[in-house]
């Protein structure tokens, strides 16, 4: 019996590191092995593996001699800060983390299990893509993973960390997840630099083609960028602290010790009265929500909008805001996609949505129009209209035209809309409006600039102020900025039990603009 026990212990070690020499190379690059990543993420002693001794059954191309227990992926259940999660980690020390039939079956089974028991899924990815030696069996495996990613979507949260190279089919499962975290030395692309050079003649590096900076700032594929494996793990833990385990639960309450009814007089001076003067909306967010609770998502992408998670009196909420410090807070193609996807996620997982509005409109120009800003902007309208969670909106300053409607207005089903005294709600800004309304008077006037100022002030006083919208019921209340936190908290308490039948009316599903 002693020999058999020893054999088991020896085999266990082989499931943790397929190739010790390759593992050492990873460490020299500042990376962790797959097993070390799992250990760093999970509470000590909580991991229960699945398919620990699985091996591939491929033959040919030398595969008979290339065998590893676990087939290049560690998968199982564990806990993070006492909460259950499903986790898998691809082992780059075995065939570059390539995905074969059995490798894929473990991930697919884990996704199925996560849905059945209602727990988040965390993928720690580093893979060269499909295992070429296994041919169509590898492709079948990818298809089964993708299918289960889609079946789990909106049921359990899915988070993927890209911790090294991910190519080909290895990028689509992350793309189907809710959040992607990339380390600075990682990269992901469908086709690598050699294929790009051969097919279209472009000379590119791994980083310029699919590095973390590219995907965080330009493509929008990456939601977060971190320095290394350990920082990725810390970020995932923080992100999980906001998320419910599944769509049947509410996001977890956490007592932050920050008085939900406190007033912040400094907030009265954050937003300039001059509608064209910029400011950083993140200062408003920091003062309205629980101190230090804001976790920004997509911080480097589409920066005219700010989205992220925060807590209000300990309750997790989603924050969506225009950013006047960038492009005056205009909505464009990318910010429309950023907002609509975030709102859709938050609705799926029962987060109240708080929208902070200071928007002059959609960005004009041929680049935007030819790029489809109409259908991209329509995504925001669709997402807010489709959302059944509590929706609270604060109009801080500008709220013009279609952008006013899109940004969580009463007309799209907002439960509470409040405005600050500085709010301007109108079809367009006063300067543009008077050029239409008073065009003839201005053409005839000896001093058109002075007259234009007078007309603009008249328009602000009679049309664009918040009391006009409030008189029609489009704004529920006008409050001082310092009162915003307490107002939102009281309203949120009343809305926590909000329930709406969905879909409305009965249908298989809607057809959102894409």
Shared-domain flag, residues 353 and 484: yes
- Answer yes or no: is pLDDT of 193 > 80: yes
401 is catalytic: no
- Supply the pLDDT for residue 80: 98
- Supply the pLDDT for residue 63: 86
Shared-domain flag, residues 12 and 127: yes
- Supply the pLDDT for residue 67: 82
Average pLDDT of the residues of the chain: 93
- Answer yes or no: is pLDDT of 463 > 90: no
We report the CATH number of the domain holding residue 341 as 3.90.226.10
Cis status of the peptide bond prior to 505, with omega within 30 of 0: yes
pLDDT tens by residue, 418-436: 999 999 999 888 877 777 8
> Which range among 39-43, 76-80, 412-416, 501-505 shows the weakest confidence by mean pLDDT?
501-505
Residue pair 244/252 in contact by the 8 Å Cβ criterion = yes
Q: Determine, yes or no, domain membership for 48.
A: yes
- Answer yes or no: is pLDDT of 341 > 80: yes
- Answer yes or no: is pLDDT of 451 > 80: no
pLDDT tens by residue, 86-117: 999 999 989 889 999 999 999 999 999 999 99
Tell me what the mean pLDDT of segment 259-283 comes to. Answer: 94
Tokens of 345: 């996620």
- Annotated active-site residue in 128, 168, 313, 377: 168
Q: Determine, yes or no, domain membership for 301.
A: yes
Under DSSP, is residue 68 helix (H, G, I), strand (E, B) or coil? Answer: coil
pLDDT tens by residue, 386-410: 999 999 999 999 999 999 999 999 9
- Supply the pLDDT for residue 124: 97
Angle between helices 34-41 and 229-242 (to 10 degrees): 40
- Supply the pLDDT for residue 18: 73
- Answer yes or no: is pLDDT of 501 > 80: no
Shared-domain flag, residues 70 and 143: yes
Tell me what the mean pLDDT of segment 358-364 comes to. Answer: 95
Tell me what the mean pLDDT of segment 200-221 comes to. Answer: 95
498-504 LR contacts (CB < 8 Å, sep 24+): 498/388, 498/389, 498/390, 498/415, 500/388, 502/388, 504/388
Q: Determine, yes or no, domain membership for 509.
A: no
Residue pair 146/153 in contact by the 8 Å Cβ criterion = no
Instruction: Please list, in sequence order, all residues whose beta carbon lies within 8 angstroms of the beta carbon of residue 439, skipping any fewer than 6 positions away.
Output: none
pLDDT band of 217, cuts 50, 70, 90: very high
Tell me what the mean pLDDT of segment 117-144 comes to. Answer: 94
Q: Determine, yes or no, domain membership for 336.
A: yes
Instruction: Please list, in sequence order, all residues whose beta carbon lies within 8 angstroms of the beta carbon of residue 232, skipping any fewer than 6 positions away.
Output: 161, 163, 181, 183, 226
Shared-domain flag, residues 238 and 109: yes
- Supply the pLDDT for residue 462: 81
Tell me what the mean pLDDT of segment 309-322 comes to. Answer: 98
Q: What global pTM score does this model have?
A: 0.94
Residue pair 302/330 in contact by the 8 Å Cβ criterion = no
Shared-domain flag, residues 143 and 94: yes
- Supply the pLDDT for residue 223: 98
- Annotated active-site residue in 169, 211, 329, 408: 169
220 is catalytic: no
Shared-domain flag, residues 51 and 126: yes
Residue 21 domain boundaries: 2-242
Q: Determine, yes or no, domain membership for 485.
A: yes
Q: Determine, yes or no, domain membership for 10.
A: yes
Shared-domain flag, residues 62 and 118: yes
Shared-domain flag, residues 445 and 476: no
Q: How many domains does the chain have?
A: 3
- Annotated active-site residue in 403, 419, 423, 464: 403
Tell me what the mean pLDDT of segment 288-303 comes to. Answer: 98
Q: Determine, yes or no, domain membership for 362.
A: yes
Residue pair 69/9 in contact by the 8 Å Cβ criterion = no
Shared-domain flag, residues 305 and 453: no
Tell me what the mean pLDDT of segment 322-337 comes to. Answer: 97
Tokens of 154: 């909106």
- Answer yes or no: is pLDDT of 28 > 90: no
pLDDT band of 475, cuts 50, 70, 90: very high
68 is catalytic: no
Shared-domain flag, residues 38 and 163: yes
pLDDT tens by residue, 52-89: 999 988 888 888 888 888 999 999 999 999 999 999 99
Q: Determine, yes or no, domain membership for 507.
A: no
Tell me what the mean pLDDT of segment 128-144 comes to. Answer: 92
- Annotated active-site residue in 135, 154, 402, 432: 402
Residue pair 173/153 in contact by the 8 Å Cβ criterion = no
- Answer yes or no: is pLDDT of 295 > 90: yes
Tokens of 85: 């999660």
pLDDT tens by residue, 143-152: 999 999 999 9
Shared-domain flag, residues 79 and 214: yes
Shared-domain flag, residues 444 and 323: no
Distance CA 3, CA 273 (A): 80
Residue pair 200/225 in contact by the 8 Å Cβ criterion = no
């Amino acid at each position: 019996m002693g020999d058999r026990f020893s054999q088991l212990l020896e085999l266990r070690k082989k499931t943790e590191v397929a190739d010790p020499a390759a593992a050492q190379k990873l460490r020299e690059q500042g990376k962790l092995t797959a097993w070390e990543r799992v250990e760093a993420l999970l509470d000590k002693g909580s991991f229960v593996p699945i398919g620990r001794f699985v091996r591939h059954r491929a033959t040919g191309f030398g595969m008979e001699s290339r065998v590893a227990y676990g087939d290049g992926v560690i998968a199982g259940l564990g806990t993070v800060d006492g909460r259950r999660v499903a986790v898998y980690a691809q082992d780059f020390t075995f065939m570059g983390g390539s995905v074969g039939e059995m490798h894929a079956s473990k991930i697919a089974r884990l996704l199925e299990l996560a849905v059945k028991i209602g727990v988040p899924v965390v993928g720690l990815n580093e893979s060269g893509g499909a295992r070429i030696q296994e041919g169509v069996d590898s492709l079948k495996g990818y298809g089964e993973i993708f299918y289960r990613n889609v079946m789990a979507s909106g049921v359990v949260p899915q988070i993927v960390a890209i911790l090294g190279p991910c190519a080909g089919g290895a990028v689509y499962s992350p793309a189907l997840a809710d959040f992607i975290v990339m380390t600075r030395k990682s990269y992901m692309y469908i086709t690598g630099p050699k294929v790009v050079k051969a097919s279209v003649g472009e000379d590119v590096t791994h980083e310029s083609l699919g590095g973390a900076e590219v995907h965080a700032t330009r493509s929008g594929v990456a939601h977060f960028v971190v320095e290394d494996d350990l920082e990725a793990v810390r970020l995932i833990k923080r992100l999980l602290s906001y998320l419910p385990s599944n769509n049947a639960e509410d996001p977890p309450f956490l007592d932050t010790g920050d008085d939900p009814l406190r007033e912040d007089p400094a907030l009265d001076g954050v937003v300039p009265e001059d509608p064209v003067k910029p400011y950083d909306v993140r200062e408003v967010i920091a003062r309205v929500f629980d101190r230090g609770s804001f976790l920004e998502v997509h911080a480097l992408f589409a920066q005219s909008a700010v989205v992220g998670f925060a807590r209000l009196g300990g309750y997790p909420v989603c924050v969506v805001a225009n950013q006047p410090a960038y492009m005056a807070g205009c909505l464009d193609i990318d910010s429309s996609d950023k907002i609509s996807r975030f709102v859709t996620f938050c609705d799926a997982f029962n987060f109240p949505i708080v929208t902070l509005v200071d928007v002059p409109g959609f960005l004009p120009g041929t680049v935007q129009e030819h790029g489809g800003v109409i259908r991209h902007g329509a995504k925001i309208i669709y997402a807010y209209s489709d959302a059944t969670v509590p929706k609270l909106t604060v109009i801080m300053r500008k709220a013009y035209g279609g952008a006013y409607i899109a940004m969580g207005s009463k007309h799209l089903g907002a439960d509470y809309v409040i405005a600050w005294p500085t709010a301007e709600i109108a079809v367009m800004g006063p300067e543009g409006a008077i050029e239409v309304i008073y065009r003839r008077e201005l053409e005839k006037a000896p001093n058109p600039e002075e007259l234009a100022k007078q007309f603009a002030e008249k328009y602000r006083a009679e049309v664009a102020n918040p009391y006009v919208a409030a008189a029609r019921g489009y704004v529920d209340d006008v409050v001082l900025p310092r009162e915003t936190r307490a107002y939102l908290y009281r309203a949120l308490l009343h809305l926590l039990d909000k329930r709406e039948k969905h879909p409305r009316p009965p249908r298989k599903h809607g057809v959102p603009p894409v």
